[in-house]
Structure 1
């Protein structure tokens, strides 16, 4: 998946603007249902709802009547059956759907993207390990909230950062390289946001070659380093570059990437395994994403054309 996004594409006019989503909490509206509504499933459902709500990991939608009826089935790619599509369509005021089932001594949690009608997460463990299962799911939800914050939040002045050499349009296979200049001493985080959020944001800077992202006033940094390949793909798209300027390092996040990859992912500790105890269930994601929300952000949009 990573290599797919390292080869980029773009077909557009360049636009520059600061975020207008100041103060927006980067969480989803989530429905949590027990299907079928067994006694054990309802207990687990209520526990998950309490965990999401008490830690501000999301806002809880009201349950639907008879939501436990019908089949909830997905293929190996996460695509729903026709009957499942009909069930999903009933959730008109919901971003995500959590399905809880407890059968044959197993607890199962499924996480569905309602808008795109896609299964994003599914995991199961014996009933005796249901809290461990919930902890794993909440770590996944933390990651989703971070990616939402990277894609849609940010505040402050649009004068903090300047970009140079990013063109309005690119063609397939063309190298993409630009400069970032900071008006003040800042930690700078530069993120690629794929078109329509079809893929997860990728941290372009810092990266495995340029791991020092403290940029002093007036300094110019070329992104990516010339030793890293960053090219337009053959698929036309409209992507965004988002650059955050922060006085403080984002220490609450973990950088993770494979050895063969040039760029990192920005993940919460619970996902990277640095905090696997039950305490990870009590981390308030509000604090996880606060540094993203409070950092001034600049955004540049470009399009990629196929040859």
Structure 2
């Protein structure tokens, strides 16, 4: 049975956008700090910083002044303890905090969302596999950067896409379908970007039943088609749908879904496929370039209960 993706929309603000920030990659400003000042931890910190900087995966900030290595505590849900939250509230110049620890022969990387005061990632491997641990973390960071690029690609005018049949409101359980038209020959990607970053972006088009996403000038395509269920739900949120028009196919991304899913997820090469070596998990610096260089049409949804 097909997995259904649900969304309730009450007010839809329709805007047409295109990227005006070409060449500027939306990435996080990251502080990388050691919580235990061992030689191994310092080496791991320096290696991680180098990988983030040289690959353009983030902006690495300067070392934090007066860094306290003893106050980083999080509960089972990843929420910061009161003492840790108090410190995080003072970190106004960074987005994320990477904490490096080596103890009892284990290397540990923790990744903290400063704004939401929450632990987003934590993994450990033996010291001998510390570089593999770094590349596992970079795969996670790639997913975060893709979400950021899909969410924050620059806006402007001159969209090459036109939308038809998208209603301003939907009732819970009502199928949502719309028609999209391109003014030029384009590869078209339509993405549901959830407000909650824990939810990965869902690629509404192309999908498992509509694999050909090259739309010629003047052609109209219904998204999704009648073989796929995409319905309104009563869950409140501020999710958005973004449609990208690209002259080139997004070949650097992997599209993946479970057998029971109708829609794909957009994933970087670093987190797809079978087991990979650290060397093979290095991804190109242009991982989000095709997103940022594609004119985008956006729908913001104010979601309320029924």
- The TM-score range, normalised by the shorter chain, is over 0.9
Map 1:78-117 → 2, pairs under 5 A: 78-117=78-117
Q: 1:130 to 1:196 in 2, by over 3 A?
A: closer
Match in the other structure for 1:59: 59
Separation in structure 2 between the aligned mates of residue 71 and residue 115 of structure 1, nearest angstrom: 17
Match in the other structure for 2:222: 222
Q: 1:118 to 1:276 in 2, by over 3 A?
A: same
Higher mean alpha-carbon deviation, 198-207 vs 135-144, is at 198-207
Match in the other structure for 2:305: 306
Match in the other structure for 1:189: 189
Separation in structure 2 between the aligned mates of residue 156 and residue 29 of structure 1, nearest angstrom: 25
In the TM superposition, residue 198 of structure 1 has moved relative to its aligned partner by: 5.9
Gaps of 5+ in 1: none
Q: 1:142 to 1:13 in 2, by over 3 A?
A: closer
Q: 1:149 to 1:183 in 2, by over 3 A?
A: same
For residues 137-196 of structure 1, the C-alpha deviation after alignment (integer angstroms, 9 at most, x for no partner) is: 111111111111111115675331011111222232222111111111111000112236
Match in the other structure for 1:291: 290
Separation in structure 2 between the aligned mates of residue 304 and residue 282 of structure 1, nearest angstrom: 39
In the TM superposition, residue 98 of structure 1 has moved relative to its aligned partner by: 0.6
Kindly indicate whether the alpha-carbon contact (under 8 Å) linking 2:19 and 2:294 is maintained by their aligned counterparts in 1. no
Separation in structure 2 between the aligned mates of residue 65 and residue 14 of structure 1, nearest angstrom: 44
Q: Going by fraction, where is helix more abundant, 1 or 2?
A: 1
In the TM superposition, residue 217 of structure 1 has moved relative to its aligned partner by: 1.2
Separation in structure 1 between the aligned mates of residue 86 and residue 127 of structure 2, nearest angstrom: 29
In the TM superposition, residue 13 of structure 1 has moved relative to its aligned partner by: 3.6
Q: 1:197 to 1:10 in 2, by over 3 A?
A: farther
What TM-score comes out, normalization by structure 2 length?
0.92
Separation in structure 2 between the aligned mates of residue 249 and residue 198 of structure 1, nearest angstrom: 27
Q: 1:256 to 1:150 in 2, by over 3 A?
A: same
Match in the other structure for 1:265: 265
Q: Secondary structure at the match of 2:175?
A: coil
Match in the other structure for 1:149: 149
1:22 and 2:21 matched: yes
Separation in structure 2 between the aligned mates of residue 70 and residue 7 of structure 1, nearest angstrom: 43
Superposition RMSD in Å? 2.1
Q: 1:206 to 1:154 in 2, by over 3 A?
A: farther
For residues 1-24 of structure 1, the C-alpha deviation after alignment (integer angstroms, 9 at most, x for no partner) is: x96x81112221422131465233
Q: Secondary structure at the match of 2:303?
A: strand
For residues 253-296 of structure 1, the C-alpha deviation after alignment (integer angstroms, 9 at most, x for no partner) is: 000111111111101111103682333464333x1111111111
Gaps of 5+ in 2: none
Separation in structure 2 between the aligned mates of residue 156 and residue 8 of structure 1, nearest angstrom: 27
Match in the other structure for 1:201: 201
Separation in structure 2 between the aligned mates of residue 99 and residue 76 of structure 1, nearest angstrom: 17
Q: 1:155 to 1:238 in 2, by over 3 A?
A: closer
Kindly indicate whether the alpha-carbon contact (under 8 Å) linking 2:16 and 2:157 is maintained by their aligned counterparts in 1. no
For residues 219-262 of structure 1, the C-alpha deviation after alignment (integer angstroms, 9 at most, x for no partner) is: 11111121111111112233221101111111110001111111
Kindly indicate whether the alpha-carbon contact (under 8 Å) linking 1:161 and 1:182 is maintained by their aligned counterparts in 2. yes
Kindly indicate whether the alpha-carbon contact (under 8 Å) linking 1:161 and 1:298 is maintained by their aligned counterparts in 2. yes
Kindly indicate whether the alpha-carbon contact (under 8 Å) linking 1:173 and 1:232 is maintained by their aligned counterparts in 2. yes
